[in-house]
Amino acid sequence: MVRILGLTLPALALSACVVGPHYSPPTTPVPAKGGGFVETSHSAAIAATPLPDHWWRLYDDPAVDRLVTEALAHNTDIRVAAANLERARAVLSEQTGARLPTTSPSAQYSRQQANSASAAAFGGAAAAPQTFRFDSFKLGFDASYEVDLFGGVTRAIEAARGDAQAAQAQLDAARVSVAAETARAYASACSNAAQRAVAIETVALQQRTLGLTNTLFTAGRGTRRDVERADVLLAQTQASIPGFEAERRASLYALAVLTGLPPEQIDAAADACKAPPTMHTVVPVGDGAALIARRPDVRAAERTLAADTARVGVAVADLYPKISLLGSIGLNATRGSQLFKSSAANYSFGPLISWSFPNQTVARARIREARAGADASLATFDGKVLGALSEVEQALARYAGALERNAALRRAEAASTSAAKLSQVRFTYGADSFLLLIEAERDRADARAALAQSDAAVADAQISLFKALGGGWEDAPAPTRREAPAP
């Protein structure tokens, strides 16, 4: 026993040795000018103040707040990501358990029978067969412990921990996406309702124009061609209404599914919405450093890199010997009363050394494979960082452009409305031709439709910007399955 301990204690002392590369987080590029985004200097509607945790509350719309909260709690994609996180945590627990000894208690009872006739088969003297029966009682306890001599177990735990943290970040990424898509579906339903309302109002105006044209034609002041042109303009506007209504209903169905409901269970507040949500404050976007720290996809890529770096150490450890300490103790007896006597005891203890040597082709190939995986993860991380910065800059540029276009269209709509009213009066008194009236009506219809579409584009650009900023996962509720209401 002393000799065995003398052989194994040095191995235990060396178990602190961990092979493979030691991980350190990679450096990340940040934008110039102190980390601020370039586009923040191009629009007064954007500020470098920190992004709030619940960005959708900036709309100050109770329906948006409620729907996003419900989606974060019941969306199926979030539930899938949460289940994947639990699986990754279970794998981490499994790998951590490798640090502990493996134990196997056992107990066995058997009744055996033999006879003396079997001795004749081996040249024994022939004799009348005799039958022997006896009992066998066994109790045993086996234990084994792998000495983490070169840190293979440690690196495996590090890899599993990185995978679990990456799964947590992927859950947060699902929350970011769901929050944005829920707000987008609500805004889309409201925007299509607004565009439909504009088209209906335009139809009413054009119907009055058509009626006036018919009256003038009947009185001999117009032509059949004037009536037909007014009818064409009316029909074109009427044709746009079913499309807006179809898109509105489609958005309502998508919104229901995002919140974990069947599509037919349309939300009443979203169904009644007539205008897209608007933000009456500048949009806070923070800076590049805060973005990189906040974006879940960047965090997931960094944690995956950490896990893949640890897997290189796992592969390197396979180049070296593995030492396991094995031990067992047992009690064997043919009678139960003798089972706990000293004569029934037996035990064994000693180290087991295994080593794939000298043929280490497979082990070295796995090291190259692991290093290539870590290199790919580093490239993925760099791509996620650059992609996140690019997405925000692009979203900021599109948002600023949408705001400028919206302001111009708002002026155009006001001017076209005034011009159409003036043309209507002048046509009634014979000062303008019917052609000028039709052109004024067409300009007003186009300007109103363009403004309504621009309002929708502004709301969509805002939501795309918030999605690119990567917020909304903080303090999210635990995902749960939405139970069907009782019949």
Q: What angle do CA 313, 314, 315 make, to 5 degrees?
A: 90
For the segment 410-428, the average pLDDT, to the nearest whole number, is 91
pLDDT tens-place string over residues 349-408:
889 899 988 889 999 999 999 999 999 999 999 999 999 999 999 999 999 999 999 999
Task: Give the Cα separation of 290 and 35 in Å (integer).
Answer: 9
| C-alpha to C-alpha distance for 307 and 316, rounded to whole angstroms | 15
36 vs 485, more confident = 36
Task: State residue 6's pLDDT score.
Answer: 44
Other Cβ atoms within 10 Å of 413 Cβ, number: 21
Surface-to-core class of residue 396, CB atoms within 10 Å of its CB (0-12 exposed, 13-18 middle, 19+ buried)? buried
Task: Give the pLDDT score at 43.
Answer: 84
210-226 pLDDT, tens per residue? 988 888 888 887 788 88
**pLDDT confidence of residue 126:** 52
Predicted confidence at residue 427, as pLDDT, reads 84
Write down the pLDDT at residue 163: 97
Sorted by sequence, the CB contacts under 8 Å of residue 265 that are 6+ apart come out as: 256
Single pTM value for the model:
0.86
Per-residue confidence band for 469, with pLDDT thresholds at 50, 70 and 90: very high
When pLDDT is averaged across residues 433-458 and rounded to a whole number, the result is 89
Supply the DSSP string of 377-428, one letter for each residue: HHHHHHHHHHHHHHHHHHHHHHHHHHHHHHHHHHHHHHHHHHHHHHHHHHHH
Measured between its terminal Cα atoms, the distance across the chain in Å is 72
CATH T-level assignment (fold) for domain 2-111+133-469 = Outer membrane efflux proteins (OEP) (1.20.1600)
Closest CA to 253 of 229, 236, 226, 271: 271
Q: CA geometry: angle at 171 spanning 162 and 187, to 5°?
A: 150
Q: At what angle do helices 434-469 and 152-218 cross, to 10 degrees?
A: 170
Q: What pLDDT, on a 0 to 100 scale, did the predictor assign at position 412?
A: 95
Q: What is the CA radius of gyration of the chain?
A: 38
Asked if 423 and 437 count as a contact pair (C-beta separation under 8 A), the reply is yes
Q: Looking at residue 199, what is its pLDDT?
A: 94
The owner of tokens 């579906």 is: 185
DSSP 342: G
Q: How confident is the model at residue 130 (pLDDT cuts 50, 70, 90)?
A: confident
More confident residue, 171 or 110: 171
Mean pLDDT of the residues in the chain:
89
How large is the average pLDDT for residues 7-30?
Answer: 70
Residue 338: CB atoms within 10 Å:
13
The predicted model gives 1-5 an average pLDDT of 39
The type of residue at 290 is: A
33 Cβ neighbours under 8 A, 6+ residues apart: none
pLDDT tens track for 308-331: 999 999 999 999 999 999 999 998
